[in-house]
Structure 1
Amino acid sequence: MPQKLRHFRVPEGFRGRSKVEVQLWWIVQETIFAWSPQFAYPFRAWLLRRFGATVGRRVLLRPSAKFTYPWKITLGDDVWVGDNAVLYSLGEITVASDSVVSQGCYLCAGDHDYRVSSFPIRARPITVGSGAWLAADVFVAPGVKIEDGVVVGARSSVFSDLPKNYVCFGSPCKPVKPRECVDVDLDIGWGRQ
């Protein structure tokens, strides 16, 4: 039997904060956060922290990025979140240090149980390991774990966990080859393996 939406209810405490706090964050995000100058990365990180996010050092958040419930977000040191990226944090979303969530990415940490007629909402956490790169317009499904060092190609759709240090792409996203990295000496600008 398909869903009967008149029976849908958001479970008590699902949002993690009161309706007033949720609405206040959404107002701040659409105004002060979004209108802040491009270079105001520390200010936007500060705003997220004020609303309960755990945000590391030197985090770069573009003003058009969206965070549904900041208190369910953890960003490590040196994380980049690009233009129009959405962290739909119905469940916990963790992005570890030195990782990039590029422009247009959508991390969806919640869904509905379609097998039940009341269409119950479920929070399902997403984890992105350290040194990962989600290229432009990547979709990450609820409950997915992306291991350290993974590169996810542009416009990929990630529906299952991805193994450490692999280049992955496609829809559904699959590991294609091991990631080979070059260590760069910043003093001279040349790579060495």
Structure 2
Amino acid sequence: MSRPVTNLSAFDNAWYDPGRSLGVRLAWMAVNRVFLQTWMPWPSTVKAGLLRRFGARIGNGVVLKNHINVKYPWKLTIGNDSWIGEGAWIDSLANVTIGSNACLSQGCMIETGNHDWSKPAFDLIVREVVVEDGAWAAVKSVLLPGSRLASHAILGAGSVLSGDTEPYGIYVGVPARKVKERSIDSVG
């Protein structure tokens, strides 16, 4: 008896709606390439302004470093005073919400799309990702579709998050597991 096999020729994501016309998507690709995916040190205010023009909701004081990539800005929300580090990748096939005072460090990846490996056609799956206020996704960490990095939680360097976390938890590893509580010294 033969086992079922993957059949990528049957892949069909015609149901998926990227949220904007092909012309707008092509215009965004050009702007993204020139202003965000470059090592040219464009000011964060310029990059934030361009993201807003394409529908992103960007708060005040957001720091956008060089060589970042945003798939669809109209599916992106970033709160006040958050930082997006060099080489960050925000693959916003679904909504991505980043709270205020949150940080995505260098090379961090937010993935909202995946594939259903149990289906022969490798069906597309999209789910939102949330990074709450004060959370930090450290260097080269990955947040998979449906992940939520809770308020003031930390995802350690190189860790992979799939699912939910607790506020102020510190998560490390592949898959990420809680290892301790975050404490923040009071100012005064």
The 1-side partners of 2:58 and 2:39 are apart by: 18
- The match for 2:177 is 174
Give structure 1 stretches of 5+ with no counterpart: 186-193
**1:6 CA drift (Å):** 1.7
State the TM-score, normalized to the length of structure 1: 0.90
The 1-side partners of 2:54 and 2:63 are apart by: 17
% identical aligned pairs: 31
**What whole-Å deviation, never above 9, does each CA across 1:84-103 have from its counterpart, x for those lacking one?**
00011111111100000000
Aligned partner letter, 2:175 = P
- The match for 1:184 is 187
Task: Give secondary structure in 2 for the equivalent of 1:15.
Answer: coil
Give structure 2 stretches of 5+ with no counterpart: none
**1:168 CA drift (Å):** 1.4
RMSD, matched Cα: 1.5
Q: Is the 8 A contact 1:2 1:114 kept in 2?
A: no
Task: Give secondary structure in 1 for the equivalent of 2:114.
Answer: strand
State the TM-score, normalized to the length of structure 2: 0.92
**What whole-Å deviation, never above 9, does each CA across 1:68-123 have from its counterpart, x for those lacking one?**
01111110111100000001111111110000000000110111112222222121
- The match for 1:107 is 110
Aligned length: 185
Does the alignment pair 1:82 with 2:82?
no
How does 1:37-186 map onto structure 2 within 5 Å? 37-38=40-41, 40-185=43-188
**Higher alpha-carbon deviation: 168-177 or 8-17:** 8-17
Structure 1: 4+ residue segments shifted above 6 A? none
